[in-house]
Structure 1
Amino acid sequence: MIGGAIATSATISVFGQAWTRCVHAALQDSPKALVDQVWQLVNREYVDDKFNQQDWQAIRQSLLSKDYTSKEEAYVSIREALQKLGDPYTRFMDPKQYEALTSQTSGEVSGIGIRMEVNEKTKRLTVVEAIENSPALKAGIKGGDEILAIDGKSTRNMKVDDASKLIRGKAGTPVNLKLGRPGKADFDLKLTRATIEVPTVRYTLKQENNRRIGYIRLREFSAHAADQMRRAIRELNKQNVDSYVLDLRGNPGGLLQASIEIARMWLDNGGIVKTVDRQGISEVTKANRTSLSNLPLAVLVDGNSASASEILTGALKDNKRAVVVGSQTFGKALVQSVHELADGSGLAVTIAHYYTPSGTDINHKGITPDIPTELTEAQERQLASNPNLIATQSDPQYARAIAVLSNSKLAQPAPTQPNQSFLPVSSRAEDLKL
């Protein structure tokens, strides 16, 4: 759950209600208030009610017995307490880290809408592309343009991250660029920053021998991912594709609800995911007969396909809707709820364990592809150094997927049937992040 400050809940204290009221009064406008807020959220929501065999009440007493001279000291103590849970996904984020997470999962940035790189040959900061409907695209910025200065500051020897910090800013504020373009004198351009939807889905029609392949790459499950995926499938359907390749390689996950919505675009019926909370209560999501395509589908995965990627892959694999090609996935089967804290920092708390439709626990194991296809180190280096080779015959995993799709028996999806062991899903799935 991103956004919305969560008020500290009433504590259940072994020292009595009167003592608790005194503590809360003393904690107002103190770093201790933040410490207690974190403790309360973990106490209420954490998936393991044994807290990794830790005495969570004693940890609270220890946290509140300390005197903190700054919020930074409180941050250190919070992180030390959370480490005792032995769960890397239950984590504290300072305000900058929390802002970065919310920006990532929202699928939006405030800036001018360009992708940049340092050109290997010229060593200059260069525009890769201007994003659709962005101020940069509307102003005529093109791929290949060199960014020579930002608000009068030279970009010579400047890193991409440093340039991004200068270009990004509050929507509605101006930024001035000096640009270089082959065959044209250097020129200045004044742009107004805007809130931009970051493309997380890229798609194209590929002609592979006698097949028309709809290739879709999904980079992460942001708040806009489902809408972008829906547009991609509909546009490719209009182009009369006869099969699809869905590329989830390198996709680290994101919002649970996005993975559910996208799974429903490919599945007419059958289970998608089951989550189990600390009380052992199961909540299950199913397809709802809203699929956009029943064409043959291959899914590409690798060791960096994690979390929400694994939910989508598991749903398509277990329902025999797709052939999964690639290498073993990451193996993260835990769900987090994310909270904004009183000072703008954030807390992610693991609140549930999830299982694939067949009931498989993939935590620390991952999903084994139907067609295992490992890349050699040389192949990985080649694709990393030349991204244009991805989804071509020089990409062994993509090439294998095309070969599978060309085999009509393997490529034809089996009809899915509802999993009768699944229970109805509640709306709580909308609040979860993976």
Structure 2
Amino acid sequence: MVRASSWFGWILSLQVALFWCWGTPPAAAFTPEQQLVLQAWRTINQAYYDDSFNHQNWWLTRDRTLKQQIPTEEAAYQAITKMIASLDEPFTRLLRPEQYRSLQVNTAGELSGVGLQIGVKAGSKSIEVIAPIAGSPAAMAGILPRDIIVEIDATPTSELTLDTAAAKMRGATGTNVSLIVQTSDQSPREVILIRQKIELNPVTAKLHTENGRKIGYLRLAQFSAKAAQELGENITKLKQQGATGYILDLRNNPGGLVQAGVEIARQWLNEGTIVYTVDRRGAIDEIDATGTALTDAPLAVLVNEGTASASEILAGALQDNGRATLIGTKTFGKGLIQSLFDLPNGSGLAVTVAKYETPNHHDIHKLGITPDRVVPNSEITLESAATAEDTQYLAAVKELGNNS
């Protein structure tokens, strides 16, 4: 009886092994196009933050995809895009070579197009404005955070991915692009923008005198590769000019490089946790201050619904550690971390690998950060920021006066 059972088990094992071999050829048998798909699948399999892969059998998705006809590189890109779409999570995405190059240029501090940072609205597939870049054609046209982009050059955005929507708004300097934009429950309106090459100067710094007190005003537009260095240099310069308090303006800052946010937090904090990251295993990684603060002067931070991602990491770190008072309106709520991975032929993947939590373990994603003092947005232009017309700025000045 034991012998018969052993033979049965051996035959069953052989059948399973043969099925695996016949169903999925060895890696060496794949075409270059299939290898591209396989590398994308493997990268997501190893790095993606949700190990249920949106409650699906990710291995079965792999096998079904590889059994398709994938005769060209374009067909491979389409297969990868379809595979990623099954995750139903907009921030994990394929970046074709031109998109990957553009993203790398943007984080280096340059941007071409209309100056919009966009995302996918939670619970829908609508393309939503995270924030316009200060001074860009989009900002000058009055496009606001949370606006919905309904159409781009007569193409409904419901038919576009996040990256193809961004690509359609980019183009040669001086050319036009037509957007249908909807603000809240208002009727959609057409906005025609002229594309420009936008230099992202991440830091604006000025010394203000308010009620006899010297205040260093710092506006941070985006977390680019040079943001931390520039901000640090300006903090030091304002300190030398006699600043006894600071206002850090993160309004309409859509984020950027997480590492830049961490480095900037360390310029304000001597000790304490800056942020926790939580991966798919529930493992928590703690990123701390390193005793490198440039000043201990009182600090107020301005935030609004366009404050997102790395901006929220910085704001949360300063709030939870009691280092700053947050003033303004609730932040955007993008608390997922993406890493970039190279693929062959210059393409890449942006993969969500973890989520953020503030030092007090507040989950940022879809929830945002509520400021210590809620002050509604005032209808101001970029030129009016940090003036007597800016009620949030005036509230920050008052807060610093209370802390003197």
TM-score by length of 2: 0.73
Write the letter of the residue equivalent to 1:407.
N
The aligned residue for residue 261 of structure 2 is: 259
* Residue 74 (structure 1) shift: 2.5
Matches of residues 26-425 of structure 1 in structure 2 within 5 Å? 26-30=29-33, 32-107=34-109, 162=195, 164=197, 198-375=200-377, 379-380=378-379, 383=380, 386-408=381-403
The amino acid that maps onto 1:25 is A
Aligned residues of 1:250 and 1:302 also touching (Cα < 8 A):
yes
- Alignment deviations for residues 309-342 of structure 1 (CA, whole Å, 9 cap, x no partner): 1110000000110000011011122111111211
Instruction: Give the SS at the match of 2:54.
Output: helix
AA at the equivalent of 2:56: Q
37-46 vs 74-83, which deviates more? 74-83
User: Any unmatched runs of 5+ in structure 1?
Assistant: 1-12, 121-152, 169-196, 413-434
**Contact 2:174–2:195 (CA under 8 A) maintained in structure 1:** no
Count of residues in correspondence between the two structures: 321
**1:116–1:160 contact (8 Å) kept in structure 2:** no
Amino acid in the other structure paired with 1:402: V
- Select between 63-72 and 341-350 the one with higher mean Cα deviation: 63-72
Gaps spanning 5+ residues in structure 2: where? 1-15, 113-134, 141-171, 178-191
Deviation at 1:290, TM superposition (A): 0.7
Once the two structures are superposed, residues 64-93 of structure 1 have per-residue CA deviations (whole angstroms, 9 ceiling, x without a partner) of: 111124333322322222122122111112
Moved more, 86-95 or 259-268: 86-95
How far apart in 1 are the matches of 2:176 and 2:47? 47
Match of 1:24 in 2: 27
The residue type paired with residue 406 of structure 1 is G
Query: The residue matched to 1:263 in structure 2 has which SS?
Result: helix
CA separation of 1:20 and 1:322: change in aligned 2, threshold 3 A: farther
Equivalent position SS for 2:300 = strand
> What is the alpha-carbon distance in structure 2 between the residues aligned to residue 279 and residue 222 of structure 1?
30
How far, CA to CA, are the matches of 1:86 and 1:157 in structure 2?
32
Distance apart, 1:212 and its partner CA? 1.1
2:36 & 2:237 partners in 1: Cα distance? Answer: 48
> How large is the RMSD of aligned CA atoms in angstroms?
2.9
1:16, CA displacement in angstroms? Answer: 8.6
Cα offsets for 1:30-82 (capped at 9, x unmatched) = 2x222111111010111111111111011001111111243333223222221
Compared CA separation, residues 48 and 261, structure 1 to 2 (3 A): same
Q: Which amino acid letter does the alignment assign opposite residue 48 of structure 2?
A: Y
How far has the Cα of 1:387 moved from its partner?
Answer: 1.8
Relative distance call for 1:289 and 1:302 in structure 2 (3 A) is same
CA distance in 2, matches of 1:273, 1:154: 39
Assess, with a 3 A threshold, how the Cα gap between structure 1 residues 88 and 109 changes in structure 2: closer, same or farther: closer
Relative to structure 1, is the Cα distance of residues 263 and 205 closer, same or farther in structure 2, using a 3 angstrom cutoff?
Answer: same
C-alpha change, 1:397 and 1:88, in structure 2 (3 Å) is same
Paired with 1:14 and 1:310, the residues of 2 have a C-alpha distance of 50
Contact 2:216–2:247 (8 Å) recurs in 1 = yes
CA deviation profile, 1:328-376 (whole Å, cap 9, x unmatched): 011122111111211212211111122111111122110000001112x
Letter in 2 for 1:101: L
- Deviations along 1:144-186, whole A, 9 cap, x unmatched? xxxxxxxxx996989986564xxx9xxxxxxxxxxxxxxxxxx
**Could you tell me how far apart the structure 2 residues matched to 1:15 and 1:256 are?**
47
Do the aligned partners of residues 14 and 254 (structure 1) sit closer, same or farther apart at CA in structure 2, a change above 3 Å counting?
farther
Cα gap change, 1:15/1:215 in structure 2, threshold over 3 Å: closer, same or farther? farther
In structure 1, the residue corresponding to 2:264 is in which secondary structure?
A: helix
SS, match of residue 215 in structure 1: strand
Q: Note the C-alpha offset of 1:240.
A: 0.6
State TM-score, norm by structure 1: 0.68
Percent identical: 43
Distance 1:105 1:14, change over 3 A: farther
Change over 3 Å in CA distance of 1:312–1:15 after alignment to 2: farther
For 2:223 and 2:272, locate their aligned partners in 1 and report how far apart those are by CA, in whole Å.
21
The Cα of 1:21 is off from its aligned counterpart by 9.1
Matched letter for residue 41 of structure 2 = W
Q: Distance in 2 between matches of 1:18 and 1:56?
A: 18
Q: Corresponding residue for 1:424?
A: none
The amino acid that maps onto 1:393 is: A
Counterparts in 2 of 1:89 and 1:29: CA distance versus 1, 3 Å:
same
- Counterpart-to-counterpart distance in 2, 1:250 and 1:37: 36
